Amino acid sequence: MRGLLKYAAKRIAQAIPMLLAVSIIIYALLQAMPGDPLDMYLENPSASPEAIEAIKEAHGLNQPVYIQYLDWLTGILTGDWGVSINSQRQVIDVIGERVVPTLQLTATSFLLALVIALPLGVRSAIKKGETFDNVTTPLTFFGISMPSFWFGLMLQLLFAVTLHWLPSAGRYSLGGPGAGSVLDLLRHLIMPSIVLALIYIASWTRYARSNYLEVLGQDYIRTARAKGLKERVVLYKHALRNALIPMVTVVMLDIPVLFSGAVITETVFAWPGMGSLFFDSLTKQDFPILMGILMVNAVLVILSNLLADIIYAALDPRIKY
Amino acid sequence: MEDKLLNVNDLSVGFESDDGMFMAVRDMGFAVRKGETVCIVGESGCGKSVTSLAIMRLLAEPPAHVSGEVLFEGKDLLKLPMDEMRGIRGNQIAMIFQEPMTSLNPVFTCGFQISEALIAHQGMTKAQARERSIELMRMVGIPEPEKRFDAYPHELSGGMRQRVMISMALACEPKLLIDDEPTTALDVTIQAQIMELLRDLKRRLGMALILITHDMGIVAQMAEWVIVMYAGEEVERADVRTIFSNPLHPYTEGLLESIPRLDSDTNKELPVIEGTVPGMYDMPKGCKFAPRCKRCMERCLNEAPPLVTLDDGHAVRCFLASEGREDSDA
């Protein structure tokens, strides 16, 4: 346990130069985008060149890029994430109010994918070549190859527009009975979380299947059977524990990807999370917001990596830190 | 008949493949008496391991197809419902595998893996199983068994892991222990220790042993009966003295000639059996050994010799032996 804490501390320490490097690269890439956040005012007859110049001055946009970056960096180190060019609000406030909706959506999708994919993959490995497997496998290919925005639109068309079973978009109903309740939230969550989870359900099922099949062919499984253990014990104790180990890495490393996936899903379903904020800010070139979101994402990648290592060590006695 | 513990009759094992059925073992028939050691000898791929796995019903069916009879104390194991078979596995018949490095589950402690069989078959509590497991580990010569109980397989050497496998197999004091090349993956000094251990345990517990090996030295040291296999068939079967003093099949003769001896001339090349085992799909239609046989006759190429039992149970699958030697064909 102490070894693990020391390891975690070391990894977090290593993360600091990494985050610094990431911030430089993202900043440079955002600056390299064609256009500029104030371009849209150029066509606006009521915005005088002097007014535009004043906004530029206020946001430090006429400084050289490296000065702007250093300003941003000193700001973020002292807890000041900057001000949105678009809304003039504090970045930390804008992002802050989007975090909870995004966590609701991604956590639901993550759990949904895990709870469906694992049993599905294990079962189709055990039933390899039988009907269950023969139905599951093509379905996973469907899930992997279906573009999520298209799948989302089709669900909206069927369940919201045609059948009126579910709300088409948003996080809460705007009015009417039960608006704003937990049930209301859950009804709004169903479609976006399925859309976001689809690709993970599919790819984790395939991964669980191939992993589990590999474990079933191992010598120690034969040993367990030779001992006269019940098939249930062989499959769900001896085999499953071993098959879970490599699954951890894949699943944990997909967490940050899940957040990027939320950009499209949140946009399709008008879900007021970080994903739709990112999309919105990207079209408006609102650098401070984009930087904030991307840095949160970078921290998330590092944390899920660390979490993967910790779970890995807990499952596999051969790993010691 | 009463002293026969295991009776294998017409055991055949085929494997489905894209090119049709491949027969790995054909018409095996042998018996193991109580407390007796039977060695199955042969080259890699001759069907030794498949035979033992078929007895334990550890082959996945399909692709495997097993036919024949495996009578254990009069019950045909091949026809038992899986539930009953599980009650026999690890309890009355136990097995030790070739690869100690991969045969133990890496995520469970050695002690847990030994205890499992005791809890499953003897209804012991965890604490009782722990105590008995430590006793077993001590019996097979694992130093500091109380400490090793909680060790994971990767923390032990190959020899120690094989001892863990052995104590696991002995947990329920089986009547029959099947050893599939238990020392092949270990170095020679450990090999000798493990063989000594098996011989000692066998004497103390009175169990029968089926020992699969390709090492004639081990055969001489351990066996009472010997079965020589070639390309999925028994080619010769006799008690150990007869095999060494009066081998009748040219393959057995070849195996014996290829053992290096302390007193042999080191300048002379060690005799070898020329050629290789025929592939799965180009089995000779006559005697399977004919292409490599120094005394092959016209007849051997077209006609498969039957296994003929001579006096005192010595059986051989060769025209020369069963119908009088015709040395002129050499």
Least confident stretch, A66-70, A119-123, B88-92, B254-258? B254-258
Among residues B151, B171, B15, the alpha carbon closest in space to that of B89 is found at: B171
**Per-residue pLDDT tens over the stretch A74-93:** 988 888 888 888 888 888 99
Are the Cβ atoms of B90 and A241 closer than 8 angstroms? no
CB distance A275 to A192 below 8 Å: no
Give CATH for domain A98-278. 1.10.3720.10
Mean pLDDT of B289-308: 80
Least confident stretch, A6-10, A302-306, B247-251, B270-274? B270-274
Q: What are the extents of the domains in chain B?
A: 4-223, 233-329
CATH superfamily of B4-223: P-loop containing nucleotide triphosphate hydrolases (3.40.50.300)
> Which of A130, A213, A220, A311 is the best substitution to test chain B (most B C-beta atoms within 10 A)?
A220
**Per-residue pLDDT tens over the stretch A23-41:** 999 989 888 887 777 777 7
Name the closest residue on chain A to residue B174, using Cα atoms. Answer: A227
- The answer to whether residue A223 neighbours chain B at the CB level (below 8 Å) is yes
Are the Cβ atoms of A231 and B82 closer than 8 angstroms? yes
Dig out the tokens for B177 from the structure: 């222990």
- Quick one: which H or E segment has residue B257? helix B250-257
Q: What are the extents of the domains in chain A?
A: 98-278
Q: At what angle do helices A182-216 and A131-145 cross, to 10 degrees?
A: 120
* Confidence tier at A193 by pLDDT (50, 70, 90): very high
Dig out the tokens for A238 from the structure: 């001896």
Chain centroid to CA B203: how far? 19
Name the closest residue on chain A to residue B155, using Cα atoms. Answer: A318
CB distance A102 to A293 below 8 Å: no
Residue B1's pLDDT is what? 47
Whole-number average pLDDT of chain A: 87
Are the Cβ atoms of A242 and B82 closer than 8 angstroms? no
Residue B327's pLDDT is what? 43
Q: Which residues pair with B66 in a beta bridge?
A: B13
> How far apart are alpha carbons A154 and A270 in whole angstroms?
15
Per CB-CB distance under 8 Å, the chain A contacts of B99 are 219
Dig out the tokens for B221 from the structure: 């040291």
B207 — alpha (psi -120 to 50), left (phi > 0) or beta? Answer: beta
Does residue B325 register a pLDDT over 60?
no
CB distance B206 to B174 below 8 Å: no
| % of residues, chain B, pLDDT over 90 | 1
Mean pLDDT of B317-327: 66
Does residue B135 register a pLDDT over 80?
yes
CB distance A315 to A244 below 8 Å: yes
ipTM entry? 0.82
B233 Cα to chain A: minimum distance (Å): 25
**Per-residue pLDDT tens over the stretch B8-61:** 888 888 888 887 778 888 888 888 888 888 999 888 778 888 888 888 888 887
